[in-house]
Amino acid sequence: MALEQARDKARVMLGELAKGNDPTKQNQRVGVTLSQFCPLFVKDHFDKHIKPSTTRTYHSLLTTVILPALGKRRLDTITRSDVEAMMNRNSNRPTTANHALVLLKLMLDKAQQWELMPPALNACSNISKFKTQPKERYLSNEERASLISTLNQFERGQLAQQNAITLIRLLMMTGCRKNEIVMLRWDELQLDEGVLRLKDSKTGRKDVILSIDAINILQTAPNNHSEYVFPGKDGIKPIQGLQKIWERVRKTAGLDDVRIHDIRHTFASIAVSNGLPLYEVGRLLGHASMQSTQRYAHLDRSRLQESLNTFSKKLI
């Protein structure tokens, strides 16, 4: 069945529901496959309730994991064994498999809520996720010095867009997520108050506290005709291709295994090692809960142990 036909079929089903017709009639749901349900789910859920960045991730999960495994299966015939088989086929990329499980569960929940399949225990319920190790990479003092030197080198030699170099520096100074600075708008700058008032982020609205150095960088950012502080080469849209520029920078700096997001981890590690309480570190990072900040608790313990060692001999 073509994509447009599938979309029409799903719309007819929802239309019958809106008219008050009995949604339990078998002829209203028989033969609807996951692939056929997908366009309606995207239109009525993705586009209305999911952030664009998350939507891109979900589209990738659909096309590379979920639909190849279960796309031809009818919604009401997907079983726990089917879901476990999908997970096992992707056991070599456990984080991706776990995210696919969450998305598939959401899809089946919505199909039941919209009465496109009979109410039953969700096939994804009680399936264990793969255990994963969080990726935590912190730059040492020497590595940070190498990164700063490389950024200076790129700037002097005009080896990358100035906006890209400035953006990376700002990430180092704020601990922000990449897209929070890539998508930064002029009307979100409140430099007289020393904050960025982000209208949207992973955790919703967010205030980013700025250091004097970060304020100086933003005060000297060239004004442009874009609504974005760091536009790309066209001078209008947000900067593109930052990942490729970062790969060149990190290779030159000898930091081949360092991701852009590791700059955020490094910001947190420096804050903790300089005595900031975890609560304040979480506030600076914009964490929605202390649970997210607890990943840096071991750094706090290390700092406390170093402090203890400075006077422990006086205790005996």
* Most confident segment among 28-37, 125-134, 142-151: 142-151
Give first-to-last CA distance, the chain, whole Å: 80
Nearest to 189 by CA among 227, 150, 163, 225: 227
Nearest to 77 by CA among 39, 107, 33: 33
> What pLDDT, on the 0 to 100 scale, is given for residue 130?
93
Q: pLDDT digits over 272-303, tens only? A: 888 888 888 888 888 877 777 877 777 767 76
Domains of the chain, by residue range, sit at 3-113, 141-308
Nearest to 266 by CA among 104, 83, 135, 123: 135
> What pLDDT, on the 0 to 100 scale, is given for residue 177?
93
C-alpha torsion angle, residues 21, 24, 26, 27 (rounded to 10): 20
222 exposed, middle or buried (CB, 10 Å; 0-12, 13-18, 19+)? Answer: exposed
Band (pLDDT 50/70/90 cuts) for residue 121 is confident
CB 116 within 8 A of CB 27: no
Is 3 a residue whose pLDDT tops 70? no
Residues 6+ apart with CB under 8 A from 5: none
Half-sphere exposure of 68 (CA within 13 A, CB side): 12
CB 65 within 8 A of CB 86: yes
> What pLDDT, on the 0 to 100 scale, is given for residue 169?
97
> What pLDDT, on the 0 to 100 scale, is given for residue 239?
94
Tokens of 120: 């039953």
Chain-centroid distance, C-alpha 127: 23
Nearest to 214 by CA among 243, 180, 245: 180
> What pLDDT, on the 0 to 100 scale, is given for residue 185?
95
Tell the residue number behind the tokens 């496109």, with chain if given. 116
Span 58-71, mean pLDDT?
A: 95
Q: Which of 211-215, 222-226, 227-231 has the lowest mean pLDDT?
A: 222-226
State percent of the chain over pLDDT 70: 87
* Residues facing 228 on adjacent strands: 185
Tokens of 267: 């910001």
* Residues facing 146 on adjacent strands: none
Four-residue CA torsion sign, 228, 145, 246, 289: negative
* Most confident segment among 23-27, 41-45, 83-87, 128-132: 83-87
* Residues facing 74 on adjacent strands: 33
> What pLDDT, on the 0 to 100 scale, is given for residue 289?
78
Nearest to 234 by CA among 247, 224, 243, 242: 224
* Most confident segment among 11-20, 89-98, 291-300: 89-98
Task: Give the integer Cα–Cα distance in Å for 184 and 197.
Answer: 9
CB 92 within 8 A of CB 100: no
CATH number of the domain located at residue range(s) 141-308 in this protein: 1.10.443.10
Q: pLDDT digits over 236-279, tens only? A: 999 999 999 999 999 999 999 999 999 999 999 898 888 888 88
